[in-house]
Amino acid sequence: MSEKTLQPPGTMNVTAKHKTIFAVLMFLGAAAFVVTLINNPERAWHGYLTSFFYFLTLAIGGLFFTAINHMVKSGWHVTIRRFGEAMAAFLPVTAVAVLALMVLGVDHLYSWLDPEVVAHDPLLQHKTPYLNRGFFWIRTVGFFGIWLYFGKVLVGKSLEQDKTGDEGMSDKLIKPSVIFVLLFALTYSLFSVDTLMALEPHWFSTIFGVYCFGGMFQSTMAFMILTIVYFMNRGQLKGYVNENHLHDLGKYLFAFTVFWAYIAFSQYMLIWYANLPEETIFFEPRSKGGWMWMSLGLVLGKFIIPFFALLPQWAKRSKAHLSVVSIWILIMQFFDMHWLIYPNYDEEHVVLSVPEVLIFLGFWGLFLFFVTRFLGKNEIVPIKDGRIHESVHHHVVY
């Protein structure tokens, strides 16, 4: 089929039903957060941080996906790029969310912000040049400034191309994409260090940013696959996206399932082998009682099960199968975030019940609202991109 005869796919039809569901989710999340905040602010902010980081990861993951594809002049991704851009449309909301966290939440989360604690802890005094309130603010503002700027450039120019039809735009995006990818490596690593690793300020692991990146790409692919399958099932992507695109996304999902496990194990093995107190402090609570079960559960659920579920070729080309695995991985990513954050709240018990789940669902409502809003306003396929014919005829042999 020639691209000339293809009908433009149009925008997403965001119905009142969608909006009601998102509003209900948002309301439930907000209510759960406020109630928990009154009764137990520490728990509320731990739950907030879990969901905030989860969705920041999805938003910036979408931007990262579009950037790496611009960077390498990839042809196959064109018809699915807008879904990555839609995820990046959530970035401004994360900027507001991080502001709330910085102003109201951080004192419930990070012990090194308390001068009283630092005064009695030589190790923390030693880390003060990095771990202090002022520099934390500067870094956070800087990181979000960079992400928002590149989000505006990369997504904005792509949307502009829809209107102007300027095919040279794709090449103009290579330079900002390269700069963004380099800055992304630094900023995302440091932000995960600041917000997650610094929950236990005595601990350090140089591979931690890569660990968070592994989970980021894995869950980003999972969400993109679900979005694409949704539009494919509605027939809106007919002629644009087929099982060959799913196959490649499935390969990404598989690859980063393995990558996450590889990094997670590398981090664990070196700490286990060296057995130094300032390093094992992270794994100590996580290898006891309920947390141990969760650690083992992550090995099984975030690596072994999706590994075998995605191994055959047909598994990566089947919409239904891929969707089930993607939903599974998105749930596992939540458990991973929870496993990273909640031992800081309660070392002994796995605290995971109604407040955590509702706050998470509330963020889902917020995230889906902004993603669908973006897709409702813009063509779901960047049809004016010069490389679209490559994507329309995408064919995967292996």
Positions that interact with other proteins (CB under 8 A): 265, 268-269, 272-273, 275, 311-313, 395, 397
> Smallest distance from the beta carbon of 211 to other proteins, in angstroms?
16
> Smallest distance from the beta carbon of 106 to other proteins, in angstroms?
35
Contact between 79 and 240 under an 8 Å Cβ cutoff? The reply is yes
Q: Which residue in the block uniquely carries the two structure tokens 């948002």?
A: 26
Whichever of 129 and 273 has its CB closer to other proteins, that residue is: 273
> Smallest distance from the beta carbon of 394 to other proteins, in angstroms?
10
> Smallest distance from the beta carbon of 31 to other proteins, in angstroms?
44
Whichever of 132 and 266 has its CB closer to other proteins, that residue is: 266
Whichever of 35 and 270 has its CB closer to other proteins, that residue is: 270
> Smallest distance from the beta carbon of 395 to other proteins, in angstroms?
5
**DSSP code at position 300:** I
Nearest by Cα to 140 from 95, 93, 197, 109: 95
How far apart (Å, rounded) are the C-alpha atoms in residues 241 and 75? 13
Contact between 342 and 357 under an 8 Å Cβ cutoff? The reply is no
Helix (H) or strand (E) segment spanning residue 45: helix 41-71
Helix (H) or strand (E) segment spanning residue 19: helix 16-39
Burial of 299 (0-12, 13-18, 19+ CB in 10 A): middle
Q: Which two tokens stand for residue 9?
A: 């796919």
Whichever of 190 and 305 has its CB closer to other proteins, that residue is: 305
- The dihedral formed by the CA atoms of 169, 174, 179 and 183, expressed in degrees to the nearest 10: 100
Whichever of 24 and 269 has its CB closer to other proteins, that residue is: 269
Whichever of 260 and 334 has its CB closer to other proteins, that residue is: 260
> Smallest distance from the beta carbon of 254 to other proteins, in angstroms?
13
Q: Which residue in the block uniquely carries the two structure tokens 């082998």?
A: 273
> Smallest distance from the beta carbon of 359 to other proteins, in angstroms?
34
Q: Which two tokens stand for residue 213?
A: 């990146």
Whichever of 262 and 335 has its CB closer to other proteins, that residue is: 262
Number of H-type helices and E-type strands within the chain: 19, 0
> Smallest distance from the beta carbon of 398 to other proteins, in angstroms?
9
DSSP 218-262: HHHHHHHHHHHHHHHHTTTTTTT--HHHHHHHHHHHHHHHHHHHH
Q: Which residue in the block uniquely carries the two structure tokens 């890569």?
A: 210
Whichever of 192 and 391 has its CB closer to other proteins, that residue is: 391
- The dihedral formed by the CA atoms of 27, 137, 260 and 60, expressed in degrees to the nearest 10: 60
Contact between 397 and 11 under an 8 Å Cβ cutoff? The reply is no
